[in-house]
Amino acid sequence: MPERMKLGWVTATGVQGYDVDEPFALPALRDAGVDVDVVIWDDPDVRWESYDRVVLRSAWDYPEHLDRFVPWLDRVAAVTDLCNPAPMVRWNLDKHYLAELDEAGIPIPPTTFLEPGDIPVFPDGEFVVKPAVGAGSRNASSYGPEDRESAREHVTRLHGAGASVLVQPLLKSVVADGEWPLLFFGGVYSHAASKRVALPRAGTVEYLFAEETNVAYTADPEQIAVARQVVDLVTERFGTPVYARVDLVRDDDGKPCVLEVELIEPSLFLPEGPPESVGKLVKALRN
């Protein structure tokens, strides 16, 4: 990268001011000699070739616009350095990647994939239904045994839109402890956070993301090791991700498992991370 690089920081219409990482990252990048423009991914007036690097940050509306977003990835990648790169992003768009993690021996929650036309089968107890392509917990909902008819209607609605569906048990630890996002910059572990998501019961998220409560967290060696396995698998397939987030939960035996992998536009939990986490991000974006 040039000594004075130009960076496109990609967002979406209507979400300006909602990315809590921006007040930390943008001044630090500018202090490090990076000219940053916050740009909307589907703005036809943006000259993507004018940037040394384009970084996906809060393009949170992409699941509703996949027919335009996926071709956009390739157009941008053809004229500048897109991060994370387009093949990695396409892999991460669809949560069928969880099956690949499972095949590689990386622990995930018990997961059933329902393709359009499949008859829904739900686990005993409480469970979660969500689309295979989605962000911000949109179109995801939790259910109990008494809500099975509502869950079937949810699956039918998603299938009617052509979506594949995931069904997972609602793990006890998620209710008690929430999730633990672990952040990696340039393939190196940086920090973690504790996240609780207000997933609706037999309902849907109306805005771009579900309400969250986030605090700082110190990951233990076992959690870091599981997340490291994911980053190593991604690196082997696509190269080192500039940024990666691995969201962990605990299974009913108390062992960490991978709920989701976030390689597209994840929140980076810079407000919850140590001060040096911002510098690690800046270094990864400049390399």
More confident of the two residues 139 and 234? 234
Q: Taking residues 237-248, what's their average pLDDT?
A: 98
Burial of 255: CB neighbours in 10 Å, binned 0-12, 13-18, 19+:
middle
Residue 138 pLDDT > 90: no
Kindly report the CA angle at 207 between 201 and 212, in degrees rounded to 5? Answer: 65
Q: Tens digit of pLDDT for each residue in 184-215?
A: 999 999 999 999 876 655 555 555 555 678 99
Beta bridge partner(s), residue 23: none
More confident of the two residues 263 and 205? 263
At residue 129 the predicted structure's pLDDT band, cuts being 50, 70 and 90, is: very high
At 38, list the tokens: 């916050």
Could you tell me the pTM of the whole model? 0.91
* CA proximity to 185, closest of 259, 269, 257: 269
More confident of the two residues 72 and 133? 72
> Which string of DSSP letters, residue by residue, matches the chain?
--SSEEEEEEE-TT-TTT-TTHHHHHHHHHHTTEEEEEEETT-TT--GGG-SEEEEEE-TTGGGGHHHHHHHHHHHHHHSEEES-HHHHHHHHSTTHHHHHHHTT------EEE-TTPPP---SS-EEEEESS-STTTT-EEE-GGGHHHHHHHHHHHHHTT--EEEEE--HHHHHH-BEEEEEETTEEEEEEEEEE-PPBSS---SSS--EEEEEE---HHHHHHHHHHHHHHHHHH---SEEEEEEEE-TTS-EEEEEEE-SS----TTTS-THHHHHHHHHHH-
